Amino acid sequence: MILSHQHVDEIRRIASGHAPEAGTPDSLIHRSWHRCVNTHGLDPAQSFGPRVESSTRLRESRERIEEYLQVARGGMEQLFKRVSDLGYVLLLTDADGVTVDYIGNDSWGKDAQRAGLYLGANWKEEIAGTNGIGTCIYEQASLTCHRDDHFYTGNVGLSCNTAPLFHPDGKLMGVLDVSALAMPNARESQHLALHLTTLYGQMIEDANFVRHFRDHWILRLATSWALVDVLGDMMLAFDSDGVLAGASTGARKWLRGLALQSGGDEAIEGRHLTDVFRCSMDDIWRLSRSSNVMDRALLSAFDHQSYFGSVVAPRMRSLSGAPGHRDVTDVVSALAPASPALERLAGDDKQMRALQDQARRLANKRINILIQGETGTGKEVFAKALHESSTRHDKPFVAVNCASIPESLIESELFGYTAGTFTGARNRGMKGLILQAHGGTLFLDEIGDMPLHLQTRLLRVLSEHEVLPLGADRPIRVELTVIAASHRDLRQLIAAGSFREDLYYRLCGATLPLPALRDRRDLGYLIDLILREEAEQLDTRAYIADEALELLERYEWPGNVRQLRNVLRFGLALSDGEGIYPEHLPPEVTALPVATMVVQQTATAATLALPAPPSAPPRALARPPEAERLLASLQEHRWNITAVAAQAGQNRTTIYRQMKRFGIVSPTQLPPDSDR
């Protein structure tokens, strides 16, 4: 360390010249020295005493940024675990340089307080000269202010590493500071501390960004595909129309830099995602559903670089504690993808998206759920996804099909039994399925087929949270969430006297109706998803020809998703890796019913052949205007369904359904002797 008078002389020499240009760490510090002398009017020879603001000023500052403080505290606690053994303390300041939060070792308390490393201390550069916090506020960049980098000689023992923290609107919120009272002379000793400060500063910023835009969709972007689901380089918040509402610090710098290069507008808010990337909104929504990270590349419309993306769905506001309250877990979870197990179950079908949203809200509530839907709609798959999206995901998920277990065994299977309860019982007894699900989720499929006397026992489990194994004297405490499912109308079973009404109301704290596959608008997405899964299982090629795809899209699917999976598995098995063609599909899919339009044409011809009643005026046959427009588009594109769907901004399945609705049949589907 240079002597005090040499330090003062060095500062005065630097300050007497021109302000240094940016480029090196020294130039950043020297610019601050130049400001302190020539702009702030400070004298490095004067003694320095930390300025501590009043408790009223401190309280006002903390109240003004309360939600930001809650988020930042979680990140600070995690960071302190990594640097506390090295002799560092942590400070968080507001945009004016006032310390609003502090974490340090109690044994350093008095020394740290004397040095100004404490609550209420004001480190503004105009007051404290060159220092980590004050200079970071001026430069708005991460930096190290090490020992004799400080302006005042009273601070030359300190080593400070700082990172600026920005609000989602781009304005400075404050500074994260990692400081030590005594460190080695070499500046290089602070490289790791500066790196950690910058890293956790970005984590705090990102968590605050997600909190601030919790009611928006968030696009997380990364140049590396491996980390995009957990930690992106940039984030963009947008509404359901794709209009940008905000950008993280990294994204804001990127977009402004590209705008300056292209001579365009620097404004971020109000722009559309499709102006930023060479893609459609369908491509953006596809990011939230794709299980293959390598399929999530987006091409920038400015620099033509590829970025990997993931989409985070809007979050609900916290209903517990203070507004925006977050603990350490919240900071980490705010950066994690939202319910990926649920997200991948549906494409752009509105019914399913609404159902997924409800399921996300219910996942962590202590409430039993009833899933209703036709056979094969995926009730167990949905229940498993709901479990995996909850905080119980590391606890058991126990599925019981009440219709497949023999009535004579279902009681012992569900409730278990003690040793020697009946002939043939296990020597040590058996733990029932209900107890096996303790702490997790019990899935009761086909609950409508449960015998009445067992319904009574299940009701007790749900109301008393305890289970009595067969042969036991004392009940056992059990905590679980029950998800029940049925393809039958339980209200009709109640009316028939075969299902208990009180059990029904215990089970249906919330009812989630799964739509039939024929009513969904995301068949194309499901075909793609299931085809990939089944091809991976069979170690074969996931390819389907357009002709086969058209047949799948026309079919009504009475067996729903289960039947679709079986059909695709069948097709893959027959195709031997050469791709699925119509000849690889089962007969029920390829044997289309007689087309509606043919029937209509035959009836119309017969009607026109009959003489009209004398009093009846002639009537013109007319189609609805939308049918005429669809028919014109089909004829224009020579019945190419893909081209028609692209022009209309719809998927092929929708076009096929409209054709069926209006009785429009492609010429290739008409019988040879029909009159087209």
Q: At what angle do helices 4-16 and 25-38 cross, to 10 degrees?
A: 80
CA 377 centroid distance within chain: 24
Q: Is the dihedral of CA 639, 643, 648, 650 positive or negative?
A: positive
Decide the pairing of beta strands 510-513 and 369-372. parallel
- Find, among 143, 43, 52, 131, the residue nearest to 99 by Cα: 52
d(C-alpha 252, C-alpha 261), whole Å:
14
Contacts of 270 (CB under 8 A, 6+ apart): 243, 244
Q: Are 197 and 161 in contact (CB under 8 A)?
A: yes
Q: At 660, which helix (H) or strand (E)?
A: helix 652-662
- H/E stretch holding 51 reads strand 51-52
User: Tell me, what's the pLDDT at 378?
Assistant: 94
Four-residue CA torsion sign, 498, 500, 505, 510: negative
Q: Which CATH number does the domain 517-590 belong to among 1.10.8.60, 3.10.100.10, 1.10.3720.10, 2.40.480.10?
A: 1.10.8.60
Whether the model clears a pTM of 0.85, i.e. scores above it, the answer is no
Q: What is the pLDDT of residues 188-210, one digit of tens each?
A: 889 999 999 999 999 999 889 98
Give me 126's structure tokens. 């105009």
Is it the case that residue 590 has pLDDT exceeding 60? yes
CATH code of 4-209, in short, is: 3.30.450.40
Report residue 662's pLDDT band, with 50, 70 and 90 as the boundaries. confident
Rg, the chain, Cα only: 34
Phi and psi, residue 395, nearest 5°: -100, 170
pLDDT given at position 22: 63
Q: Model confidence at 377, in pLDDT bands (50, 70, 90)?
A: very high
pLDDT value at residue 106: 62
Structure confidence at residue 326 as a pLDDT band (50, 70, 90)? very low
The mean of the pLDDT values for the chain is 81
pLDDT at 555 > cutoff 70: yes
Give me the helices (H) in 157-248, please: 191-212
Torsion of CA 664, 666, 670, 676, to 10 degrees: 70
CA distance linking residue 149 with residue 158, whole number of Å: 9
Residue 461 near residue 434 (C-beta atoms within 8 A) = yes
Residue 60 has pLDDT above 60, yes or no: yes
Q: Name the residue with tokens 């919120």.
A: 173
What pLDDT is recorded for position 507?
A: 92
Q: What is the per-residue pLDDT for 290?
A: 58
pLDDT > 80? residue 359? yes
DSSP string computed for 434-485 = HHHTTTSEEEEETGGGS-HHHHHHHHHHHHHSEE--BT-SS-EE---EEEEE
Q: Cβ atoms within 10 A of the Cβ of 588, count?
A: 12
The CA distance from 398 to 442, in Å, is: 5
* Per-residue model confidence as pLDDT tens digits over 66-120: 878 888 988 898 899 888 888 899 999 999 999 999 988 766 666 777 788 888 8
Return phi, psi of residue 94, to 5°: -85, -175
Same fold, 4-209 and 216-312: yes
Residue 329: pLDDT band by 50, 70, 90 thresholds?
Answer: very low
- Describe the strand order of the beta sheet including 88-94 as a list of residue ranges: 99-103, 88-94, 172-180, 159-166, 143-146
Taking Cα atoms as reference points, which of 529, 548, 543, 538 lies closest to residue 579? Answer: 543
Give 596-608+621-669's CATH code, choosing from 1.10.10.60, 3.40.50.1100, 3.30.390.30, 2.20.28.160: 1.10.10.60
> What integer pLDDT is reported at residue 569 of this predicted model?
92
Q: For residue 594, what pLDDT band results from cuts at 50, 70 and 90?
A: very low
Q: Say how many C-beta atoms besides its own lie within 10 A of residue 192's C-beta.
A: 13
Domain ranges in the chain are: 4-209, 216-312, 340-513, 517-590, 596-608+621-669
Taking only the tens place, the pLDDT of each residue in 472-522 is: 888 899 998 999 999 999 999 999 999 999 999 999 889 999 999 999 988
Is residue 602 predicted with pLDDT exceeding 50?
Answer: no
Q: Do 172 and 164 touch, CB atoms closer than 8 A?
A: yes
Q: Which has the closest alpha carbon to 271: 234, 319, 239, 309?
A: 239
pLDDT for the residue numbered 261: 52
pLDDT digits (tens, 9 = 90+) for 408-448: 677 888 888 888 676 656 667 788 899 999 999 999 999 99
pLDDT tens digits along 242-285 = 888 889 988 888 887 666 555 555 567 788 888 888 888 877 87
* Fold held by 216-312: Beta-Lactamase (3.30.450)
What's the pLDDT band for 620 if we cut at 50, 70, 90? very low
Q: What pLDDT sits at residue 323?
A: 33
The dihedral through the CA atoms of 595, 596, 601, 606 has a sign that is positive
CATH for 340-513? 3.40.50.300
